[in-house]
Amino acid sequence: MPIATLSGGLGVALRFAGAKVTDEEVYDDLFADRDKLREQGMMVMVMLQALMIPPARLKEAAEKIRQEEEVAGKAKAGLTTK
């Protein structure tokens, strides 16, 4: 996906959240560290995808992860019953 498209999508999301930025400013910022351009592009794509997750689904997923971590923590501490 072209970085200009990503910066435009990120610009829309940031403005929706109240930021006073232009697409050009977002684009310039993405190019500020050319060594990390690929990493930053991936981060923007993941972030934009995360914004599309319905809040109820996100809450369910977070609760499931919390429960799994709790079980794993108990197992690691030897607190599980067999």
CA 22 to chain centroid:
21
- Residue 15: predicted pLDDT: 93
Q: Which residues contact 13 (CB under 8 A, 6 or more apart)?
A: 47, 48, 51
Per-residue pLDDT tens digits for 47-65: 888 888 888 998 999 899 9
pTM for this entry = 0.53
> pLDDT category, 67, cuts 50, 70, 90?
very high
Rounded distance, CA 12 to CA 70, Å?
A: 37
Tell me the one-letter amino acid at 48: L
Rounded distance, CA 33 to CA 75, Å?
A: 43
